[in-house]
Amino acid sequence: MPPAMIRALAGRAGIHVYSDSDCFLEVNSRYLSLHNEAERRRVAIRLPRPARRVVDLFDGTVYVENRNELVMDLEPYATVVAEIEYETTAL
């Protein structure tokens, strides 16, 4: 099944879709990793809620602050590993 079809079905089922890109993307509650294929591309990632910051674990680049969407321009075969910092809620 093509990736675009899987994303469409997930969206219709109410599942959060992080990106419409065909890049390799893995996300959990604290980290995201993204790997690009052979062509240069712009990738938009939508987080389920605003993050305080999204920071590259290798070089410290801050990709976004206080937002739930970030856009990255990726070179061919680029890999990004970043930490997602959400606000903590006091109980």
- Residue 8: strand, helix, or coil: helix
Total structural domains in the chain?
1
In a domain, 10, yes or no: no
Dist CA 50 CA 23 (whole Å): 22
In a domain, 34, yes or no: yes
In a domain, 74, yes or no: yes
In a domain, 11, yes or no: no
pLDDT tens, position by position, 32-90: 999 999 899 999 999 999 999 999 999 999 999 999 999 999 999 999 999 999 987 55
> Domain of 45: which CATH number?
2.60.40.1180
pLDDT tens, position by position, 4-25: 999 999 999 999 999 999 889 9
Nearest CA among 10, 38, 53 for reference residue 19: 10
Q: Model-level pTM?
A: 0.83
- Residue 62: strand, helix, or coil: strand
In a domain, 40, yes or no: yes
Asked if residue 56 lies in contact with residue 82, where contact means CB atoms within 8 angstroms, the answer is yes
